[in-house]
Amino acid sequence: MKILRKIYQNDLLTKFLSFSYVLLQESHDRWKYNGYKCKYNIDPTFKFRGTGIIFFGKGNITIKENSYIVRYSILESCANCKIIIGKNCAIGPYVKMYTYGKSTDQDLNQNPFESRIKYSKGDIIIGDGCWIGANVGIKGGVTIGNNTIIGMNSVVTKSIPSHCIAVGSPARVVKFKSYLSEKERGELSKKYQLRD
C-alpha cells in the first residue's frame, strides 16, 4: 500500500512539474512574440501558433493581416533586406526563411574567415493567400505569387508565380489552380513547361 501511495505521489508531482513547465514556456513565448511585434511591422491579427518561433536580424519583417506561423519556424532578415508576408497566409512548422547566406556556386573548401567566400542576399516576398507547407526552406531573392501553395519539404531557390502549386527541391511548379480559365492555365503551363 505504501508503494502505491509513493507511486501516486510521484505521478502527481510529475504532472504538476509538467504543467508548470508548459505554463512557463507559454509565458516566455508570449513575451518573446510581443517583442517581435514591437521590433517588426507585424499586423495585430497575425498569430504565432506554437513554441520555438524565431524572428531575427536588422532588416525589416512585414506581416499583413490574418496570417499565422506555426512552431519552430525561423525568419531571418539581414540589414538592408526585407521579408514581406501577405494577407491570409499560412506558414507551417519548421519553415526557414533566410535573406542572407553563402553562395553555393563556389569552392567552399576554404577558410571561412577569409574574405574570398562569397555571400548572396535578397528580399523574400510572399503574396496574399499563400500556404507554405511544413519544413520548407526559402532562400533570399525569392518572390512567391498570390494564392500559391509550396508543398512540404520543398526548397524554394527561385521565384514562383501566382495561382499554382510548387513542390520539390528545388521547388518547381507542378500545377496551376483549377479556378483559372482553361486558356489561362494553358498559357501558364506552356510558359512553365508543364505537361498535362
Among 133, 124, 51, CA closest to 90: 133
Among 103, 107, 75, CA closest to 91: 75
The number of residues making up the chain comes to 196
Instruction: Reply yes or no on whether the pLDDT at 8 is more than 70.
Output: no
Prediction pTM value: 0.84
Among 140, 126, 135, CA closest to 169: 135
Whether 29 contacts 51, CB under 8 Å = yes
What is the residue-wise DSSP string for 16-78? HHHHHHHHHHHHHHHHHHHHHHHHTEE-TT-EEESS--EEESSSEEEE-TT-EEETT-EEE--
DSSP state of 134: T
What are the contacts of 145-150 at 24+ separation with CB within 8 A?
Answer: 146/86, 147/177
Cell of 30: 508570449
Sequence-distant (≥ 6) Cβ neighbours of residue 122 within 8 angstroms: 81, 99, 139, 140, 141, 142
pLDDT digit string, tens, across residues 137-162: 999 999 999 999 999 999 999 999 99
d(CA 5, CA 52): 37
Q: What fold does the segment set 42-178 form as a domain?
A: UDP N-Acetylglucosamine Acyltransferase; domain 1 (2.160.10)
Domain boundaries, the chain: 1-39, 42-178
pLDDT digit string, tens, across residues 80-128: 999 999 999 999 999 999 999 878 777 777 776 666 778 889 999 999 9
